[in-house]
Chain A
Amino acid sequence: MKPPPFAYAAPTTLEEAVGLLTEHAEAEPRVLAGGQSLIPLMNFRLAKPGYLVDLRNVAGLSGIRRDGDILVIGAMTRMSEVERSPEVAVAAPLLAEAIGLVAHAPVRNSGTVGGSLAHADPAAELPAVALALDAELVAAGPGGTRVIPAAGFFQGPYSTALAPDEILTEIRLPVWPGGHAFTEFSRVHANFAVVAVAALVELDGDSDWIRRAALALAGVAPTPVRAVSAERALAGASGDAETIRAAADAAAADLSPAGDLHASPETRRGLARTYLRRAIELAVSRARNER
């Protein structure tokens, strides 16, 4: 229940941090952000990195700013800062709502947005938010920086498009012009979700017709997934209860979730259907009320 020994550095620049990851590649280095997932894994000896590159002294990795229609969040920004940010409440209320469901407040005081995304737990909330919003993730590596769309970022459980010598530096979230909702089922408040749903709905002008919807689920596949058939069923349709129910049914039918001790495949599919319906209904009603 204590971490195994490892070498450690807390560089002050991104170049230095990337250089250390390259230089110590044979030690299977890991990046340390808030440590709220990595350190428990090390305590359990489930992760045994030979080298930790701590990002806490690297300048410029933390902060929240608006860049036109994009909300930019530094990878090292603590979740509690995002949770309390008036800017996030306006520009990305879906993210603010989801973060309130991530673990408990003391974990959010240390845990970072980038850390959660790079850890890529298949039941985590923030990857589903990134996927629903078509976020862009910016990574720095030996060859410079590159932008990775969320749709290509999550590759499997705890597995992302980041190369071993790349560091996630910021996440760029497009501002969604409409209603949002984040709903989840978990056995105990603040546990990982069994099933979580991120829903975004944009209405057509002043009508009740849905122009487009973006829906992502966590906990039903090795990575977060978009509920594509529900998005198609909703686009151009009215936001009435029957349409929403049919869309949620269609999306749930597409899923083939694995079972584990928390829930069987059938339970997960049933939860996905119910929570999708609730999330879409809430997003539609907010889209109506907020225009």
Chain B
Amino acid sequence: MAPDTRTISLTVNGQPHVAQAEPRRLLVDFLREDLGLTGTHIGCEHGVCGTCTVLLNGASIRSCITLAVQADGASIDTVEGLAQGGEMHPLQDEFSEKQGLQCGYCTPGMLMRACEILARNPDPTAAQVREAIASNLCRCTGYQFIIEAVIAAAARMRATQEVAP
């Protein structure tokens, strides 16, 4: 018997998508396998490590403990949507500039989490960033550089009034 599938209509990085998925399909697998957006990584698969973080209607969520059907009708932003017209997003640029990425595994989740942090507070202190990224694990333990990158990107985004997605 063919598995029961649902039609899921959602917007990803501004593009509308309609796809079929089983109810048990995790949002992270839907993005990676069904839409081919492999920028979002899979880590612990039980909501602890944060590497699968994406934005759902602007709020950072764990896509490994979210079903794709729960995102039906939603607007999703992933790391693939950050660069615009070949230009890196200030967060990506500063992660590179400040050595905020080492092995790169946590980076997509860190970037998307940072988007929400700066959308809620465009001028955070280092302590605020440190606490806010506690949701995401970096096993290279490069947190200090990540914090510096977020602070530097925040300053650039305030200056140019660029807004996170």
Binding site for B on A (CB under 8 A): 1-8, 10, 32, 35-36, 39-40, 42-44, 52, 54, 56, 80, 104-107, 109-110, 189-190
> Contacts A5-B3, A7-B23 hold; do A35 and B135 have CB atoms under 8 A apart?
no
A81: min CB distance to chain B, Å? 10
| Contact between chains at B65 and A40 (CB < 8 Å) | yes
Cα distance, A204 to B62, chains bound together (Å): 47
| A-chain residues with CB within 8 Å of residue B72 when the two chains form the complex | 10
| Contact between chains at B29 and A54 (CB < 8 Å) | no
Cα distance, A119 to B29, chains bound together (Å): 26
| A-chain residues with CB within 8 Å of residue B70 when the two chains form the complex | 32, 35, 54, 56
| Contact between chains at B22 and A5 (CB < 8 Å) | yes
B4's partner among A7, A54, A107, A109 (CB-CB below 8 A) is A7
B40: min CB distance to chain A, Å? 13
B105: min CB distance to chain A, Å? 17
| A-chain residues with CB within 8 Å of residue B156 when the two chains form the complex | none
Nearest B residue to A44 via CB reads B46
A55: min CB distance to chain B, Å? 11
| A-chain residues with CB within 8 Å of residue B123 when the two chains form the complex | none
Cα distance, A2 to B29, chains bound together (Å): 10
A164: min CB distance to chain B, Å? 20
A212: min CB distance to chain B, Å? 35
Cα distance, A36 to B24, chains bound together (Å): 15
| A-chain residues with CB within 8 Å of residue B93 when the two chains form the complex | none
| Contact between chains at B59 and A39 (CB < 8 Å) | no
B46's partner among A1, A80, A104, A109 (CB-CB below 8 A) is A1
| Contact between chains at A106 and B60 (CB < 8 Å) | yes
| B-chain residues with CB within 8 Å of residue A106 when the two chains form the complex | 50, 53, 59-62, 113, 135
A-B interface contact total, Cβ < 8 Å: 84
| B-chain residues with CB within 8 Å of residue A105 when the two chains form the complex | 60, 116, 132, 135
| B-chain residues with CB within 8 Å of residue A3 when the two chains form the complex | 24, 26, 67
Q: How large is the interface on B (under 10, 10 to 19, 20 to 34, 35 or more residues)?
A: 20 to 34
| A-chain residues with CB within 8 Å of residue B53 when the two chains form the complex | 106
8 contacts between A and B (CB under 8 A): A2-B24, A3-B26, A7-B4, A8-B69, A10-B69, A10-B72, A32-B67, A39-B65
CB-contacts of B1-47 with A (<8 A): 3-4, 6, 22-24, 26, 29, 45-47
A43's partner among B23, B50, B64 (CB-CB below 8 A) is B64
Nearest A residue to B57 via CB reads A109
| A-chain residues with CB within 8 Å of residue B60 when the two chains form the complex | 105-106, 109
A150: min CB distance to chain B, Å? 27
A37: min CB distance to chain B, Å? 9
| B-chain residues with CB within 8 Å of residue A56 when the two chains form the complex | 70
Nearest A residue to B69 via CB reads A8
| A-chain residues with CB within 8 Å of residue B65 when the two chains form the complex | 35-36, 39-40, 43, 110
Nearest A residue to B52 via CB reads A106
> Contacts A10-B69, A35-B67, A52-B23 hold; do A43 and B62 have CB atoms under 8 A apart?
no
Minimum-distance CB pairs A-B, first 7? A104-B135, A8-B23, A109-B59, A40-B46, A1-B45, A39-B65, A3-B24
B140 at interface by CB-CB < 8 Å = no
B47's partner among A8, A32, A36 (CB-CB below 8 A) is A36
Q: List 19 extra interface pairs beyond A8-B69, A43-B46, A109-B59, CB under 8 A.
A: A4-B24, A7-B4, A7-B23, A10-B69, A32-B67, A35-B65, A39-B47, A43-B45, A43-B65, A44-B46, A52-B23, A56-B70, A80-B59, A104-B135, A105-B60, A106-B135, A110-B56, A110-B59, A110-B62
